[in-house]
Amino acid sequence: MTVCLRATTLLLTLTVFGALLLPAGPEVRAQETTGERAVIDIIQVRNRDPLRVRDSAHAALDPRGRIGLIDDKLVIATTATNLQHLRDIIAEADSPPRRLIVGVDFAYQADVVDSDTQQQSQSIEGESLVFLGTSDDPARVPRLTIAAEVVSAGTALVNVSLTNLADLSGNHIARVPLGTWQLIEPLPAMADSRSDTDAAQDTETANGPNGVQARAAVVAIRVDVLP
């Protein structure tokens, strides 16, 4: 029953898309002579989030065209010339996830090349990794969760969550260059959104023994693409 419903939905979608795209008869013949023939195509998204792939292609869509989504399939109604361009964009956006090396340094020093505080692990794009720092108090161990995705040549989009690191605690989303250590910047606005308990815990973490103010944490991340 579900298969029949999906097939019916797909057929109706193709009919509607064709009606929306195709102009009157003489204009269709004019388009055919200039290579702007109207076409409909279905492309299955195999590796990535279909919504994101559709969004990637939509910016290059002909103004007369349409892109719909049924399950993991893009239904495209556009001109023949535009369709080929869209196929190239979709193929790139739907590439298999790349293998990455993600590095974290909880005590980053720019002038130290190989620090004992650096950690790294392999992952694939979109996979979350967890790194732990050090603390004399087991309940205050710094924790960093990170997922990275390459969004363009030389650039990665990272989603980082930090806990037990004073004003660095919270969620960080940023675009960072590949192959370069990048500092995690403080989130001053987070102070208003955190609970009193979280704020108190972060204050204790920032202080050393007997409440003496400790040096602020300097945390850096790095993303590299494996060949």
**Residues 39-51: pLDDT tens digits?**
999 999 999 999 9
What pLDDT is attached to residue 222?
Answer: 97
Helix (H, G, I), strand (E, B) or coil at 41: strand
- Average pLDDT score over residue span 131-138: 95
Tell me how long the chain is.
227
pLDDT value at 192 more than 90: no
Indicate the average pLDDT of the chain.
80
- Average pLDDT score over residue span 154-164: 96
Q: Tokens representing 54?
A: 């559709």
pLDDT digits (tens, 9 = 90+) for 60-82: 999 999 999 999 999 999 999 99
Most confident of 106-120, 149-163, 192-206, 212-226: 149-163
- For tokens 């959104």, name the residue: 193
Most confident of 24-33, 181-190, 198-207: 181-190
Cα of 64 vs its chain's centroid, Å: 29
- Average pLDDT score over residue span 89-109: 94
Confidence of residue 184 (pLDDT cuts 50, 70, 90): very high
- Average pLDDT score over residue span 146-171: 93
Provide the phi-psi class of 134: left if phi over 0, else alpha when psi is between -120 and 50, else beta: beta
What pLDDT is attached to residue 215?
Answer: 45
Cβ atoms of residues 61 and 82 within 8 Å: yes
Could you list the beta-strand ranges (E) of the chain.
Answer: 38-44, 66-70, 73-79, 99-105, 118-124, 129-132, 143-152, 155-163, 170-177, 182-183, 220-225
What pLDDT is attached to residue 189?
Answer: 58
Angle at CA of residue 172, ends 171 and 174, nearest 5°: 155
All domains of the chain, ordered by start, with CATH?
Answer: 2-93 (3.30.1370), 99-225 (no CATH)
Helix (H, G, I), strand (E, B) or coil at 30: helix
Phi, psi torsion values for 156, nearest 5 degrees:
-125, 145
Its pTM stands at 0.64
Confidence of residue 212 (pLDDT cuts 50, 70, 90): very low
pLDDT value at 207 more than 60: no
DSSP state for residue 115 in the 8-state scheme = -
What pLDDT is attached to residue 3?
Answer: 42
Residues of the chain with pLDDT > 70, as a percent, come to: 72
What pLDDT is attached to residue 36?
Answer: 74
- Average pLDDT score over residue span 120-144: 96
pLDDT value at 16 more than 80: no
User: How many other C-beta atoms can be found within 10 angstroms of the C-beta atom of residue 174?
Assistant: 13
- Average pLDDT score over residue span 100-117: 89
What pLDDT is attached to residue 197?
Answer: 52
Q: Tokens representing 55?
A: 């969004």
pLDDT value at 200 more than 80: no
Cβ atoms of residues 191 and 75 within 8 Å: no
